[in-house]
Copies of this chain bind each other. A is one copy, B any other.
Amino acid sequence: MKGYIQIYTGNGKGKTTAAIGLAIRAAGHNKNCFIGQFMKGREYGELKTLQKIPQIEIEQFGITKCITKEEVSEEYKEKSKKALLKCESKMLSGKYEIIVLDEINVSVWFGLINEKDVLDLIAKKPENVELILTGRYAPESIIEKADLVTEMKIIKHYYDKGVNARNGIEK
């Protein structure tokens, strides 16, 4: 089956969870999935549950989410580049039909990852692999390469009422 390139972007909720749900759905059809999580190193709830599903492999690349652009060091960039190369080799291994690069868009925006390196990976996508890229601020050049782009848009948000991220819901 031909695989496409999907992007979930925008400032609304549901980008990562949509990618996870997609992997869950695919696993139900016995498709193997690799999920690489950029800018995530904490114990997110999904990690624990997904590890129990044989068709899904998930890895967090350790750089926490709350850094500012000023905090992006050469060391972080190096680490992120290695992570991206790992995802690329997973994509090229022939073992997976679904590859999720979670928060990759915002990693590019932060300058942790070069836009060009993501475009290089996209160019190598095997025909049968579905590639999912999530995160706000998806760059135009990457959107251009995608077959399906969905923007998650906030219509109403309880954060306005002063609620913080909650375990088991937002993380």
- Whether A167 contacts B29 by the Cβ 8 Å rule is yes
Which of A60-68, A87-95, A107-115, A155-163 makes up part of the contact surface? A155-163
Residues on B with C-beta less than 8 A from A21 are: 14, 16-21, 24, 46
Nearest B-chain residue to A29, judged by Cβ? B168
- Whether A168 contacts B28 by the Cβ 8 Å rule is yes
Residues on B with C-beta less than 8 A from A148 are: 13, 156-158
Task: Fill in one digit per residue for A38-61: 1 if any B CB lies within 8 Å of its CB, else 0.
Answer: 000000111111101101000000
Residues on B with C-beta less than 8 A from A52 are: 52-53
CB distance from A119 to the nearest CB of B (A): 16
- What CA separation (Å) do A52 and B14 show in the bound complex? 23
Residues on B with C-beta less than 8 A from A28 are: 44-50, 168
Residues on B with C-beta less than 8 A from A27 are: 45, 48-49
Oligomeric state, in copies = 2
- What CA separation (Å) do A39 and B27 show in the bound complex? 22
Task: Fill in one digit per residue for A108-144: 1 if any B CB lies within 8 Å of its CB, else 0.
Answer: 0000000000000000000000100000000000010
Task: Fill in one digit per residue for A1-43: 1 if any B CB lies within 8 Å of its CB, else 0.
Answer: 1001011111011111111111011111111000000000000
CB distance from A12 to the nearest CB of B (A): 4
Nearest B-chain residue to A17, judged by Cβ? B21
> Can you name 20 extra interface pairs (CB under 8 A) apart from A20-B24, A24-B45?
A1-B166, A12-B152, A13-B148, A14-B22, A16-B21, A17-B22, A18-B152, A20-B20, A25-B44, A25-B169, A27-B49, A29-B45, A49-B53, A97-B168, A146-B156, A147-B157, A149-B156, A150-B155, A151-B152, A152-B152
